[in-house]
Amino acid sequence: DGNGKVSRVIRIGTRKSQLARIQTDSVADKLKELYPHVHMEIVGMSTTGDKILDTALSKIGEKSLFTKELENALERNEVDLVVHSLKDLPTTLPPGFTIGAVLKRENPFDAVVLHPKHMGKSLETLPESSVIGTSSLRRAAQLKKRFPHLDFKDIRGNLNTRLKKLDEKEDFAAIILAAAGLRRMGWENRISQILGPEDCMYAVGQGALAVEVRARDADILEMVSVLHDPDTVLRCIAERAFLRHLEGGCSVPVAVNTEVKDSQLYLTGAVYSLDGSDSLKETMQTSTAAADKSPEEVDERVQRVGVTASKISGEAQDRAERLGVDLANLLLSKGAKEILTVARQLNDAR
């Protein structure tokens, strides 16, 4: 630093989109605050998902669409950690990687952004056959059932691109986006309506940021572990375990809703047919109260659905994971596999 002091450089990998940069900068700022002697360097990259913009995400069928290139850089030691939207991360990570931090969740629900000429309306009051843009099978399946008078069509691109497509053309009456992304971009004023769980449950991990690191980098893991938000970690472990056990991915409509209240973790999970006509939904709960004897028993190497959180009660994490698996099994026993298989086949055939 010019005074003969050596400061450590930490390289943070991110996608190049404006939202990804804002999210990464927020993580870098938190780390700078905690470790003022460390120099943060941000490395932007383009991923497959950023390059293929003319195909629906659900058709590409690649689970690590927005993460693979970043993980390759992590593997080659070109970066030390990577910031993702947790919902982009597959429930099974490649060997040698782990999620070292899950930050406090922003509002996980979906938001309706209306075309300027429909200002003041809601999905309910939009004219018959209005076209709603969403690239998510999960959103379309739930909203088709809830608002049968609307038409749903694919829209791709990052947030900026999608808003531009909405505003500058007459193709869409509204688009559905994650409220979290709009808030982080400072575009809260564009939100006309937040869809509650009765209208549209959210994607696994939606609204939470994840920091992925090499599992063997004990010092980096220790450094980022202070960013973990305990409630968000438990909610997301339950959600990811639910999705993993169902074998759901981008190409099937699976939705969740979680809440931590009075030392209880509540998980609602649902699966849908593509048009929403067929669905299964159940809720289960578990205690989050920790009865861990001593922190020494925590094994740094233990991952739960890809998450390493050594400072949070292992017992509570195990219960959260079990909750996700139990809820998935309950839905599977009621016919979830059949619904998802048909949804996958129909989606592949489209």
At 190-218, the pLDDT tens digits run 999 999 999 999 999 999 999 999 999 99
Range name among 37-46, 63-72, 248-257 with the lowest pLDDT average: 63-72
- What is d(CA 6, CA 68) in angstroms, rounded to the nearest whole number? 32
Report, as an integer, the average pLDDT of 172-188.
96
Could you report the per-residue pLDDT of 296-325, keeping only the tens digit for each?
Answer: 455 556 899 999 999 999 999 999 999 999
Model confidence band, residue 250 (pLDDT cutoffs 50, 70, 90): low
- What is d(CA 41, CA 45) in angstroms, rounded to the nearest whole number? 13
* Residue 112 phi, psi dihedral angles, 5° rounding: -100, 125
pTM listed for this prediction:
0.90
pLDDT of residue 299: 57
Residue 88 among the catalytic residues = yes
Range name among 47-61, 147-161, 305-319, 326-340 with the lowest pLDDT average: 47-61
Report, as an integer, the average pLDDT of 11-32.
94
Residue 70 has pLDDT above 50, yes or no: yes
- What is d(CA 171, CA 180) in angstroms, rounded to the nearest whole number? 24
Give the helix ranges, DSSP H, for the chain. 18-34, 48-51, 57-60, 68-75, 137-146, 159-168, 179-185, 218-225, 230-246, 314-333, 336-349
As beta bridge partners, residue 110 has 178, 195
Model confidence band, residue 162 (pLDDT cutoffs 50, 70, 90): very high
pLDDT of residue 6: 56
Is the distance from CB of 66 to CB of 50 less than 8 angstroms?
yes
Q: Which residues contact 261 (CB under 8 A, 6 or more apart)?
A: none
As beta bridge partners, residue 28 has none
Q: Which residues contact 164 (CB under 8 A, 6 or more apart)?
A: none
Residue 24 has pLDDT above 50, yes or no: yes
Report, as an integer, the average pLDDT of 237-254.
87
Q: Which of 50, 54, 80, 88 is catalytic?
A: 88
Q: How many CB atoms lie within 10 A of CB 201?
A: 25
